[in-house]
Structure 1
Amino acid sequence: MEHALFDDLVQSLKEARAIAHGQMPASRRIKVTAPDAKAVREQIGLSQSEFAQLMRVSVKTLQNWEQGRRHPTGPAAALLRIVQSAPDVVRKTLHA
């Protein structure tokens, strides 16, 4: 590995550790807010069990999202956004 590239990699790891330990602020943060799960499900016309299967979560998890007891985070929130904006693409891709 090129020496300069290795030095950059080591510096990046040191910065990541400092950020993880709260010693340094992250240079940027990306926050994905999830749309209303029930509205998305109704928009594409699926039952709770069908939509839970599409999202690869349990029906109970979906019910918790829809009733506001829990909120989708991370990949689930991102997938909900994608389902909301391109439901046909999601169906085609996940059912392939």
Structure 2
Amino acid sequence: MKTLGQTLIEAVKEAIEHKGKGNIIRPKVDIAEVRKKLGMTQKEFSVQYYIKLQTLRNWEQGKRTPDTTTLAYLTCIALKPKIVLKMLHPRKAK
């Protein structure tokens, strides 16, 4: 049986071997468009979806780009905003 340390070392080696072998597809999300379709101000959107207001502004102004994980989250908001809100605010959804 392998120890935890051995398993972790093997996992790191495997990750290093795969580095650069795949193409990462970054979803395209126009966050300002999504927010406007929802009829929300930047402040309302940032509060409801737990995104720092300045971060949201930076994305919308093109000063910053969300990382891949955040893009996945923003894609969920774009596709199913009510479901995301329900998950984030379960008490309000009742």
Q: TM-score range by the shorter chain?
A: 0.7 to 0.9
Gaps of 5+ in 1: none
Matched ranges for 1:44-59 at <5 A: 44-59=38-53
Alignment match, 1:70? 64
Displacement, 1:29? 3.6
Matched, 1:15 2:14: yes
Q: SS where residue 88 of structure 1 aligns?
A: helix
Normalising by structure 1, what TM-score? 0.71
Q: Is the 8 A contact 2:49 2:85 kept in 1?
A: no
Aligned equivalent of 1:94: 88
User: In the comparison of the two structures, how many residue pairs are matched?
Assistant: 86
Question: What is the TM-score of this pair, normalised by structure 2?
Answer: 0.72
- SS in structure 2 of the partner of residue 82 of structure 1: helix
SS at match of 1:30: coil
Check the 8 A contact 1:37/1:80 in 2, yes or no.
Answer: yes
